[in-house]
Amino acid sequence: MSERAKFLSVHPIGETDVSALPVKDVGAAIGYYSQVLGFSLVRREGRRAELRRDSTKIGLHRNDVDPDNASCYFEVDDVDALRNELEGRGIEPTPIQESRDGSKTSRIFFAKEPYGVCFCFGSTLVE
């Protein structure tokens, strides 16, 4: 098990645009995503910001979309390590559970950022 989980990819849940996750305050959201979720700021332009962690890139956008209606799934290499990492940073993630989608089984947990966006973090099990 690695000390710090690697983010492998990000996928929208529903109609969420992962290149423009809705936020109410770009500066505060950059701070949260950087300090708590471990992302690094790539670029900020006005009401938008681009962040990266490992091979995963997301965008933040102050717009008219309600953050409470936005969700995304992050595929990580070690779901246990990430859950421990987030717990250590004051997040209260849900317990890890198994989820089956067709022939694929994943270990997942959920966490919600204080600005409204809901995250699902998971790691696909090799069968």
Strand 7-13: give its sheet, edge to edge: 7-13, 71-76, 118-124, 104-112, 97-101
The answer to whether residue 95 sits within a structural domain is yes
How high is the pLDDT of residue 117?
87
The answer to whether residue 31 sits within a structural domain is yes
The answer to whether residue 2 sits within a structural domain is no
- Residue 14 belongs to what domain range? 7-124
Q: In this structure, what CATH number is given to the domain that contains residue 29?
A: 3.10.180.10
Cα gap 28→1, rounded to integer Å: 32
Tally of structural domains, the chain: 1
Cα gap 10→73, rounded to integer Å: 6
How high is the pLDDT of residue 103?
85
The answer to whether residue 91 sits within a structural domain is yes
pLDDT of the chain along its 127 residues, tens only? 447 899 999 999 999 999 999 998 999 999 999 999 999 999 999 999 999 999 999 999 998 888 888 999 999 999 999 999 999 988 889 999 999 888 889 999 999 888 788 999 999 987 6
